[in-house]
Amino acid sequence: MHYYRYKNAEVSCCYKYLMFSYNIIFWLAGTAFIAIGFWAWSEKGVLSDLTQVTRLHGFDPVWGVLVVGTVTFILGFAGCVGALRENICLLKFFSGVIGFIFFLELTAAVLAFVFQGQVREWINDFFLANVRAYRDDIDLQNLIDSLQKLNYCCGAKDPNDWNLNVYFNCTTANPSRERCGVPFSCCISDPADTVVNTQCGYDVRKTGNPTQWGQTIYVKGCMMALEEWLPRNLYIVAGVFIVISLLQMVGIFLARTLIGDIEKVKFNYY
């Protein structure tokens, strides 16, 4: 009986463990995102009362964390196990999903460029919907506060957008102490202050004169702030997009190369 040793009868260890190393990071990151998401929900009592998920009228940032974590976890798992077990099905699933996500990103970028007016209107409506739900969720509240503080803005178009919120609207029927006010994140902060004054926005819109508001709060809307921020940071945004795209293309290249290696070895043995 004769045994034949075929040339290149083994899958390349280099590509195999590069693929594994590439994916173990995303697998662990996905696990961390999922853990953070469920921890955030447990802190808000959502896990003990799941109906809270359906009662929220605005955007819960935890959903974003969980969706990103779940997708990253599944892809990382498929890539790691597919590489170690030399499983063509898992590797094809990994490369196919990464390719589909890459296609969606390109499509979204092109559509956002072509339909700038509609995208601007959609973002404005999305922001206003979350202004209405500002007090409904602590994570949403923190997200809006961070956005307004970082961009020195208030509301979507101007501070009067806060009339949409039941706590801040100026109607005489509103019994809230925050009536005709704005969140503290709209206030112009003094660098000398060591303690955040959470009541600085109280009654600020009672004067009805926007020219006087500018001494206390930001009068620029966040939509205008975003439109000013984007051209200033265009290279950073483009750089982030290019880095993400390169990482995706590297993942697809490693998966397809490993699939070709495995198929070649299987062909040689049959």
What confidence tens digit (pLDDT) does each residue in 184-241 have? 999 998 777 778 888 888 989 887 677 788 888 999 999 999 999 988 898 998 899 9
Q: Give the per-residue pLDDT at 72.
A: 94
Q: Give the per-residue pLDDT at 1.
A: 44
Domain membership of residue 255 (yes or no) is: yes
For residues 121-147, average pLDDT: 91
Q: Give the per-residue pLDDT at 3.
A: 44
Domain membership of residue 212 (yes or no) is: no
Domain membership of residue 180 (yes or no) is: no
Pick the range with the lowest mean pLDDT from 70-79, 133-142, 149-158: 133-142
Angstrom CA distances, 245 to 74, 102, 133, 248, 255, stand at 19, 7, 34, 5, 15
Domain membership of residue 261 (yes or no) is: yes
Report which DSSP code applies to 28: H
pLDDT in tens, 13-24: 888 888 999 999
Angstrom CA distances, 22 to 86, 130, 179, 252, stand at 15, 37, 53, 11
The reported pTM is 0.79
Q: Give the per-residue pLDDT at 97.
A: 95
Domain membership of residue 216 (yes or no) is: no
Is residue 182 scored above 90 in pLDDT?
yes
Amino acid (one-letter) located at 189: S
Bridge partners of residue 187, in order along the sequence: 217
Domain membership of residue 70 (yes or no) is: yes
Domain membership of residue 169 (yes or no) is: no
For residues 160-171, average pLDDT: 92
For residues 52-58, average pLDDT: 61
H helix intervals, the chain: 13-43, 52-55, 61-84, 88-114, 116-132, 138-151, 210-213, 222-232, 234-269
Percent of the chain's residues with pLDDT above 90: 57
Is residue 41 scored above 50 in pLDDT?
yes
Domain membership of residue 24 (yes or no) is: yes
Q: Which residue has the tokens 């998966």?
A: 255
Is residue 6 scored above 50 in pLDDT?
no
First-to-last C-alpha distance (Å) of the chain: 17
Average pLDDT of the residues of the chain? 86
Domain count, the chain: 1
Confidence band of 56 (pLDDT split at 50, 70, 90): low
**Could you write out the DSSP letters of every residue in 44-100?**
TTTTT-TTHHHH--S--HHHHHHHHHHHHHHHHHHHHHHHHTT-HHHHHHHHHHHHH
What backbone torsions phi and psi does residue 45 show, to the nearest 5 degrees? 80, 15
For residues 174-183, average pLDDT: 91
Q: Which domain, by its residues, includes 263?
A: 11-44+59-133+244-269
